Amino acid sequence: MSTKESKVDQRNYTFNQRPKSKGLYDANYEHDACGMGFISHLDGKPSRSIVDDGLIILERLVHRGGTGAEEDTGDGAGILMAMPDKFLRAICMEESNVELPSLGEYAVAMAFLPRDDKRCAALLEETEQIVKAMGFKLLLCRKVPYSYFDAGPAARDCMPNFYQLFISGDGIFDVDGDLEHKIYVLRRTLEQKIRFAGNDDYYFSSFSSKTLVYKGMLHAWQIRKFFPDLEDDRMESSICVVHSRFSTNTFPSWDRAQPCRIIAHNGEINTLRGNENWFRARESVNDGGVFKNVRNSVIPVIDNEGSDSIKFDNCLEFLCLQGRPLPQVLLMMIPEAWSKAVDISKEMKAFYEYSANIMEPWDGPAAICFSDGRYAGAILDRNGLRPSRYQVTKDRRVILSSEAGVLDIPFSETVEKGRLGPGEMILVDTNEGKMYLDHQVKEDYAQRHDYKAWLSEFRKTEEDLPKPKKLQSISNENFGSGIKAFGYTFESIQTVITPMARDAKEPISAMGMDIPLAVLSKRPQLLYNYFKQLFAQVTNPAIDALREEIVTGTEVFIGASGNFTEDAPGNCKKLRLDTPILDSKTYAKILNLNEDGFKTIVIDMLYDIECGGFALETALEKLFENAEKAIYDGATILVLSDRNFTKDKAGIPALLAVGGLHHHLIRKGLRGRADIILDSGEPAEVHHFATLVGYGVSAVHPYLAYRMVEECVDRGYVGDLSKEKALYNYQKAIVKGIVKVMSKMGISCVQSYQGAQIFEALGVSKEVIDKYFTGTATRVEGLKLRHIADETKRRHLMGFGRKSHDLLNSGGVFQYKHDGEVHMYNPETIHIFQRAVRENSYELFKEYKEKLQGEESEQCTLRSMMEFNTRRKSVDISEVEPVERIVQRFKTGAMSYGSISEEAHTSIAIALNRLKGKSNSGEGGEDRKRFETMENGDSACSAIKQIASGRFGVTAEYLSSAVEIQIKVAQGAKPGEGGHLPGHKVYPWIARVRHSTPGVGLISPPPHHDIYSIEDLAQLIYDLKNANPSARVNVKLVSEVGVGTIAAGVAKGKADVILVSGFDGGTGASPRTSTQHAGLPWELGVAETHQTLEMNGLRDRVILETDGKMMTGRDVIIGALLGAEEYGFATLPLVAIGCIMMRVCNLNTCPVGVATQSPELRKRFTGKPEYVENALKFIAMDVREIMADLGYRSMSELIGKATVLRQKVVNNNDKANSLDLSSILVDKNPITRKHMAPLAGSTEWDHYFAAIEALVETNQSVEINMPISNIDRSTGTRLGGWLAKRYGDDGIDHDTIVYNFKGTAGQSLGAFVPKGITLNVEGDANDYVAKGLCGGKIIVAPPKDAAYVPEVNTVIGNVACYGATSGELYARGMAGERFCVRNSGVQAVVEGVGDHGCEYMTGGKAVILGEVGYNFAAGMSGGVAYVYDVNDDLEEHCNMEMITISGVEIDEEVNQLKALIDKHKDYTDSTVAENILSSWNDSIKKFKKVMPIDYKQMLDEIDKARKEGYTGEQMLTIAFERKVATK
Amino acid sequence: MGKATGFLEYKRKSANYVEPEKRLKNFDEFVVPLDEEEQRIQAARCMNCGVPFCLSGVMYGNSVSGCPNGNLIPEWNELIYQGNYKEAWERLSKTNMLPEMTSRVCPAPCEGACTNGIDGDPVTIHYNERLISDKAFENGWVKEQGEPISKTGRKVAIVGSGPAGLSAAWRLNKLGHTVTVYERNDAVGGLLMYGIPNMKLDKNVVEKRVNVMKELGVEFIVNCNIGKDISYDELDKEYDAILLTGGSTIPRDLNIPGRELDGVEFAVDFLTENTKTLLKDGHKSLKDTMKGKNVVVIGGGDTGNDCVGTTLRRGANVVQFEIMPEAPEKRLANNPWPTFPRVKKTDYGQQEAIHLQGDDPRIYEINSLKFNGENGKVKSVDTVKIEWKKNNEGRFVPVPIKGTEKTYDADLVLLCMGFTGAEKYTLDEFDVISHEGYRTNDKKVFIAGDMRRGQSLVIWAIYEGRSAAEEIDEFLMKES
């Protein structure tokens, strides 16, 4: 940008003052990720080159950093160094003639101070006084020079003053430890006395005698220019840790730049809220350890203003200063997945379990580089969700960073090239001059104490518990009343509890939600229903708790916290339970617990039902008081119980009691002294348990649900199951359900999820939230205690009132019932709407509209609580933008061919093409026939091609057929989850389009395995723009608090369109819990996104789209007024072509031929494209009428004019009127300017392509030699997309265009490269090699003179061949994690792979000539893997759920394998291949074949059919039918 | 939904009728339900729809789509398939106070709206209901659902013992109120007793229900015509609330020349008399009592059909006049699912006529012009065929077709053209001039059923009865 004016909404912010809450924007929801690394000399030898190389690493990671609205304002970058004594000593002398004491005897504070000189001077003055008063000496206060013009305008506007304070002396206070400890107390004192006393802009980026940090709100490449110090030749160090930040928003954040004082963090702490609270709970119950004499100066430890990384750093620092070595604390805070691992030593497990008693994991994706001046190292989270590649050089330097190849070190100088696997650590000890690999570090700490002995002496498990206490049973009569009082319905028993008891899993539902939000419902709701589950999107991935169960942990630790300032046996005095769901026997035992350090006290959780909200509040106060008293009486386990409910005494809503008590005890500093167990009749469904655990309960005993399960057995609902088995199943389903809920947020451990509050309240007043659910987001106000009491009373009366003898209510949440919840899609609206579109009758459409939103209708959505409010004069409708233009803003939702029938899928596509709107392919690929125009001029080509996590059918040709490419990050009905198309639905025609095998199930993983972070998303967008430069890239998100800041990040990642979906959208199949309880309405999401983008100066960069149960023109208008420019419909067009909301999409039994593949049922399809056209035209006509009425002539005038709306007051619904929509309906300017530039400069390629075209047309080939480095990303993709557009994925011969590269390839080498292109890299490559490969060939091998042994070093990064459909890959050396994930056709040869290899693979071949990591072949439903299993331990590393392992025996197969290895040898000069081949007859015996069971069965059936003489589609169909029939 | 694919695997199978040959010999019920196992399998055809249209009860034009009473059909279908009849009964009786009646007489708008009917045959909801209610009476499960909770001391009078009155009485009694039902006829049941002939609804069935209600404490007073035998004031003194469920009992008349002749009767009177005789003297007393007589039934509805069946059983020759055109075999485009299917239905009486007389007794688009008599007794009916044409106002009206005049012999003409409304004398007695919902201008007087909404289905009456009961309960308890 040429002008130096800030685009960002700044208004005099100082360097760390993000705008506080404003509309829906909340600074708390900022996310960041980045590139990072460290470089160190093994012997701690300081040198200029270490610093220089550190800065180069930063520069080479620029593409991982973020750019805001301004090209030259970065999100932050910085460098942490082991104290650069030489430079400091020299400069102090030079500038001020001050002689520093020797290294280690002085500390340097790097201070950010106010820009305002007066304040700056005053604060310095105050600082000096405190320093002196505490007995230190201020040697020098140096103003750090900087280069003003080398920062962007937004950064400059809020820049701090930089000072280095040089301090020495001992201090005059009593603290055990060295200078570093004393300096810590000094810093904390300064912070408390100055920073927390109202001077937010007083900050120390480092304050230590060992390290120094330079950082700022800069681009990675600016840091060197900005701080001239760094360019000084005398600036030498032995360790540099560097970090380049990609933040999701663009607000001033000099202090949020990293590194922090010890770490550089690439990742996100998902469980931050819980970790903070638990930390506070624990610090309040200990004496401060080494700081006990100055406890008040250092506690609380956590800086509230900090980001997750800073808070992590705070805690880490404190725990280290207590005497634990830095690596040990990291292992405690980010433990690997130890509980289920098979080859971790017992000692190591004991260490981890001991540590778990002290602290729950800080869960979430994390790659952390760290240094305290002596150690340098890095650690990766248990899921391995951030790349970390390291190398060791001949001259004893160790370099680790987010990408390989960040320094141009010759391969011949490199002796080792590796990567961190999940949960791994490497450590350099510059004092000892040694580097330790993962197990070396860990075993060391495991041996330091006899943790096993400590555990066996103090830790309790169920077996150690006393005899059970006799539980007071619930009478039959109380049972009958209780289930009504606690909100059970016939529906919940039949469709939730029964399936869980029967099948041990949660039932599936389809077609989303269309009932009123809890706060609008006139039926009494359980409090749980007001809490919506949050989920990961973009900035961190959801995880697959099912196929990657190995990383999950469900254990909980109960009892008083130990003293975390020291390692002592007593710290493990806790009760360890395997899950948070208690069976009755264990619960009864816990009740009897009263022995050394353990004491259980039961507290009644009841209140007087007649007295309403006041009684409820009083009862809660009393409960808190009782709990405090119990703690003072020695209780370590508080049981809250509503077992004694009576006609007059109702249970306090359990969530309210639990959340309230949790926060009450935190506030009182007592939370660390006891844990909470719940004994309640209320919780019954997964979401109930998830919220309870999420708000701090340790374990739940749901006595009434158990009784209900037994009742289901008695009533014969669950077949022949015994009660024991049914109860077991039910508990299992709940635990699995909770794990699934937390995995949506990317959380692996229940222990971390506990108290993490991963929820947003919808329709709960701030006063209730602040007191009982402190820190939870609630944005539109809502119910107060009196409403909660009222709802409780209404339910209680059902159980105990005059009509208590009536049979249980039906419910009607998912199924329409006459007397159940209101449904927007009900018999009447469906019928009238269908008639309207069939008969092309706008009159009938109006009737339908009236039923939905007329005077008589009930409020279901947030928008139903809004009404128009304008004084503008109406305009004549003839002046309003025509229907034909309005419909161009309409899109249909992503529904895959596979989830719906061909008839349905093409009807919708044809209709939208006729309207010039956009239909969406969904994630199932699309038949290439559809890319061409039909004879009658219609086109069934979906304008939007979706890319989802399964990547089914995603090839270069598919991408090049798109007008818009949509990356589905989350889906409204089940955000944070993947999908599973069961084998019986993979008909031959579906399999063809998806590049898979008929009859074999297909799994879509919860995350995209190439989007673990915001910078990954930016990379995928870059890939796609290369593959098809003319398509808009659309990123689909789901509404939740913070979606606006995520969207800002997505905009910075250069997406063109951002879709914010509502939670209520339909789906073919989703667990009930997700459908109902995950995600939020689009009204909130759209408004927040519009507001946030606008504040960030990013609104003009992107188009904002929304969808989610849009049913009328009014819905569209409200979407527009809140900021959306395009609108999606999915359920509506389905209903237009015949859907009657059967909600059986998952069963393949759709009786109207819409959501089925059954040929029989497809015959029943009666839809026509015209119906969809009519439907959308009616909507547009409705839109026009409203526009005319409101006085607007075009849609674009409306966008973002939220003040045209106001909140409606409704009759007879006090609860609904307690909402406050003012944060949604804020005044935001409409869009001023729209600039859309798909891949700039793409036309420049024309000459180049002309040459290629000439070659191809004349059947010639070409070979090109070039260097390559890590900044060359998506190599080959642009060319591949261009070729596929003209010739298809397989139109030209192999090796027509051959590139020979030398060096380290950047990310996405060969992504979406079709047949004809060969990429040959001499060197190595980063992540995502061969992503989406669709015919091309890729070879990666180190050069001959590499100084390391290729087969034991890493040659390609993580997630190679993701979603690839055909082609070949040969890599000499090891591949990273998730090799061949979701491969469906590529033949690949490598020499070793990391964890989760061949995960979700559905086709193709993987040949692995070396070791494989954990969880190999998880979710693998097709394809074959051949592993050279020299150690004969393959099975231990496999996830055996779907596969079998055998030898390779059939001749034909043996020959094919040999041919592949031959090729590998030829292409890569592999010595491994050579050795194998030279003794082939022996070698072949060591090969194991990994084959999915289903896949094998299907291949056998196909083979059988072939032998019977069938061919082609008929052969497949016969085989498919037989396969499905045998199931 | 017992089974997700049940609707594809099993064909609809309906109950059997006794052969016309046999059934014409008596007035016994002629429906022979499937055996239990077969009926249970029929329940597996239910798809347990996300939006069960069968229970929706929406009015489109004049007809209802789906059950007006919101019967929880998918719930009990599932339970039938499980073989869990007891619970199926509970879920059925939660909404339907008289399922043994509706499972015999209801035209089943639920089946018309059944999703299976879009492209196939609907679930046999009607006979599934029958299975459950048969089971319930066999096993004595009926009473427990009506056991009253503690008495409130409030007293309610119900005027009229038809389905609305019985439904309300059941519910109010269960809620602890003391209920007295007044019936002007000599037996309880209203339309159920005398409006519907025995072969369709055995009077034992009605009696069984009434007996259970008596056991549960409901008091029935028959032969007591409120407004004539007892006045409003008397009721007012005795009761805390009064519910009027007198039905829509004024038959629509046909005022053409000759209407005064003997032998031109309202069907309802004829059927009442018939049932009374049957109950008193048995089948034999009716057999052949109309042998050789010609009967003209005017009106093509269910009552007309009942008249055909009844007179055939007494030996008559029957024709049935219908002013509307013959309905199509299949739904027309303007009558799509889930609206009530307007298709030709050949009911038991007509089947029997075909059996005996060779031809369908129905004559469509025919208008009666004049009754001709001899000695004050009807002998024939002059008719003309008509066609439906739009008049000047755009409304369809019948227009006679010249040259189609025809005279039919008639010894008995039965008028069954529906009912026009409630008895005026009752309304006058209670001074009911308006109502809003179930409440009237008099706060303690409520009104429900056909008396309130006009002629409709039994299932509507049941719905109104129970809904009115809730309002009365609210009224009574608020007053306390």
Chain A contact set for B171 (CB, 8 A): none
Nearest to A716 among B58, B82, B120 (CB): B82
The beta strand positions in A489-647, using DSSP E, are: 508-509, 531-533, 556-558, 575-577, 594-595, 598-604, 606-608, 637-641
Residue B161 lies in a domain: yes
Least confident of A26-40, B160-174, B438-452: A26-40
Among B365, B384, B417, residue at a domain's last position: B417
**Residue of chain B whose Cα is closest to the Cα of A1145:** B50
- Indicate whether B442 belongs to any domain: yes
> Are residues B458 and B349 part of one domain?
no
Burial category of B369 from C-beta neighbours within 10 Å (exposed 0-12, middle 13-18, buried 19 and up): middle
Cα of B16 to nearest chain A Cα, Å: 28
Q: Which of A712, A717, A797, A828 to mutate to test the interface with B (most CBs of B within 10 A)?
A: A828
Q: Which of A34, A860, A1150, A1380 is catalytic?
A: A34
Distance from CA of residue B213 to its chain's centroid?
A: 20
* Domain presence at residue B1: no
Residues on chain A touching B118 (C-beta within 8 angstroms)? 1140, 1151-1152, 1164
Q: What six digits make up the tokens of B110?
A: 């639920």
pLDDT, residue A2, reads 36
Cβ-defined contact of B82 to A1160 (cutoff 8 Å): no
Report the alpha-carbon distance of residue A790 to residue A1056 in Å, rounded.
Answer: 47
Residue B2: the pLDDT is 63
Quick one: B293 and B404 in the same domain? Answer: yes
Residue B312 sits in the same domain as residue B411: yes
Cβ contact A827–B113 (<8 Å): yes
Of A802, A823, A1161, the CB nearest to B149: A802
Residue range B65-72: average pLDDT? 97
- pLDDT tens for A111-169 read 999 999 999 999 999 999 999 999 999 999 999 999 988 888 888 888 999 999 999 99
**Cβ contacts of A640 within 8 Å, gap of 6 or more:** A603, A605, A623, A654, A657, A658, A661, A676, A677, A678, A679, A680
Number of separate domains in chain B: 3
A862-872 as b/e: b if 16+ CB within 10 A: bbbbbeeeeee
Dump pLDDT digits (tens) for A782-807.
999 999 999 999 999 999 999 999 99
Query: What's the maximum distance between 2 C-alpha atoms anywhere in chain B?
Result: 71
| pLDDT tens readout for residues A1268-1318 | 999 999 999 999 999 999 999 999 999 999 999 999 999 999 999 999 999
Instruction: Kindly determine whether residue A827 and residue B338, on different chains, have CB atoms separated by under 8 Å.
Output: yes
Report the CATH number that the domain containing residue B435 is assigned in CATH.
3.50.50.60
Interface predicted TM-score (ipTM) = 0.95
Closest chain B C-alpha to A476 CA, distance in angstroms: 17
Pairwise CB contact (< 8 Å): A806 & B94: yes
Chain B environment of A797 (Cβ under 8 Å): none
Q: Would the pLDDT of B89 be above 60? A: yes
Å between B52 CA and nearest CA of chain A: 7
The answer to whether residues B410 and B425 belong to one domain is no
Q: Which residue has the tokens 């660390």?
A: A672
Question: Is there a contact between A1164 and B118 if contact means CB atoms under 8 Å apart?
Answer: yes
**B75–A810: do the CB atoms touch at under 8 Å?**
yes
In chain B, residues with a C-beta closer than 8 Å to the C-beta of A1140 are: 49, 51, 53, 115, 118
CB within 8 Å: B338 and A831:
yes
Residue B434: per-residue pLDDT: 85
pLDDT of residue A108: 98
Contact A494 B78 (CB under 8 A): yes
Measured CA to CA, the distance from residue A604 to residue A646 in angstroms comes to: 12
* Residue corresponding to tokens 């269309």: A514
Q: Is A19 a residue whose pLDDT tops 70?
A: no
Q: Do B412 and B264 belong together in one domain?
A: yes
**Which residues of chain A are at the B interface, by a Cβ-Cβ cutoff of 8 Å?**
490, 494, 510-511, 715-717, 802-807, 810, 814-819, 823, 825-828, 830-831, 835, 1140-1144, 1147, 1149, 1151-1152, 1160-1161, 1164
Sort out which chain B residues have CB atoms less than 8 A from A490's CB and list them: 72, 75, 91
Active site residue A34: yes
pLDDT tens digits for range A735-780: 999 999 999 999 999 999 999 999 999 999 999 999 999 999 999 9
Strands (E) located in B288-395? 294-298, 317-322, 362-364, 366-374, 377-390
Question: Pick from A511, A823, A828: which is nearest to B58 by CB?
Answer: A828
Could you tell me which of A750, A44, A75 has the C-alpha nearest to residue A397? Answer: A44
Are B397 and B462 in a shared domain? Answer: no
Of residues A523, A613, A1187, the one with CA closest to residue A868? A1187
B194 within domain boundaries: yes
One domain for residues B168 and B242: yes
Residue B29 lies in a domain: yes
Tell me the chain A residues in contact with residue B53 when contact means C-beta distances shorter than 8 Å: 827, 831, 1140
Contact (CB, 8 A) for A1510 and A1016: no
Looking at the fold, whether B265 and B374 belong to one and the same domain comes out as yes
B362 and B293 in a common domain: yes
A1164 Cα to chain B: minimum distance (Å): 7
Both B173 and B108 in one domain: the answer is no
**Do B180 and B241 reside in the same domain of the chain?**
yes
Nearest to A861 by CA among A518, A1201, A1215, A1225: A518
Question: How far away is chain B from the Cα of A605, in angstroms, using its nearest Cα?
Answer: 29
Query: pLDDT per residue over A246-265, tens digit each?
Result: 888 777 688 889 999 999 99
CB contact under 8 A, A1140 and B4: no
For chain B, what is the radius of gyration of the CA atoms? 23
Taking every pair of C-alpha atoms in chain A, what is the biggest distance, in angstroms? 96
- In this structure, are residues A466 and A593 in contact, taking their beta carbons and an 8 Å threshold? yes
Question: Among B94, B129, B144, where does a domain finish?
Answer: B144
B173 to chain A, minimum CA–CA distance in Å?
Answer: 12
Chain A residue closest in CA terms to B90 = A807
Contact B51 A815 (CB under 8 A): yes
User: What pLDDT is attached to residue A66?
Assistant: 72
- Closest in A715, A819, A1143 to B50, CB measured: A1143
Q: How many CA atoms lie within 13 A of A1159 on its CB side?
A: 5
- Contact pairs from chain A to chain B, CB under 8 Å: 113
* Residue B242 C-alpha, separation from nearest chain A C-alpha, in angstroms: 21
| Residue B271 covered by a domain | yes
pLDDT of amino acid A650: 97
What separation in angstroms does the CA of A225 have from each of A59, A147, A160? 12, 7, 17
- As a residue count, chain B comes to 480
Which residues in B lie closer than 8 A to residue A717 (C-beta atoms)? Answer: 82
Per DSSP, what are the bridge partners of residue A1057? A1034, A1103
Domain assignment present for B52: yes
Per-residue pLDDT reduced to its tens digit, A939-979? 999 999 999 999 999 999 999 999 999 999 999 889 999 88
pLDDT at residue A3 in the model = 37
Domain that includes residue B129, residue range: 6-144
In terms of phi and psi (left: phi > 0; alpha: psi -120 to 50; beta: otherwise), the region of B234 is: alpha
Residue A22 clears pLDDT 70, i.e. is over it: no
Residues of chain A contacting B50 with CB distance shorter than 8 Å: 510-511, 814-816, 1141-1144
The three-class DSSP label of residue B28 is: coil
Helix or strand or coil: residue B9? Answer: helix
Separation CA A824–CA A833 (nearest Å): 12
**Strands A1334-1341, A1317-1325: pairing kind:** parallel
Query: Which one of A831, A1070, A1135 makes the best mutation probe of the B interface by having the most chain B beta carbons within 10 Å?
Result: A831
Residues of B in Cβ contact (< 8 Å) with A903 = none
Please tell me whether residues B277 and B407 are part of one structural domain. yes
Q: Which of B118, B338, B477 sits opposite A1152 (nearest CB)?
A: B118
> Is the residue at B366 inside a domain?
yes
pLDDT one-digit tens code per residue, B265-308: 999 999 999 999 999 999 999 999 999 999 999 999 999 999 99
- Binary contact (B50, A816; C-beta < 8 A): yes
Distance CA A1457, CA A1076 (A): 49
The nearest CA of chain B is from the CA of A1160 a distance in Å of 9
Q: What is the pTM of this model?
A: 0.96
Taking CB atoms and an 8 Å limit, are B115 and A1151 in contact across chains? yes
Boundary (domain end) residue, out of B116, B144, B172: B144
**What is the mean predicted confidence (pLDDT) over A603-632?**
96
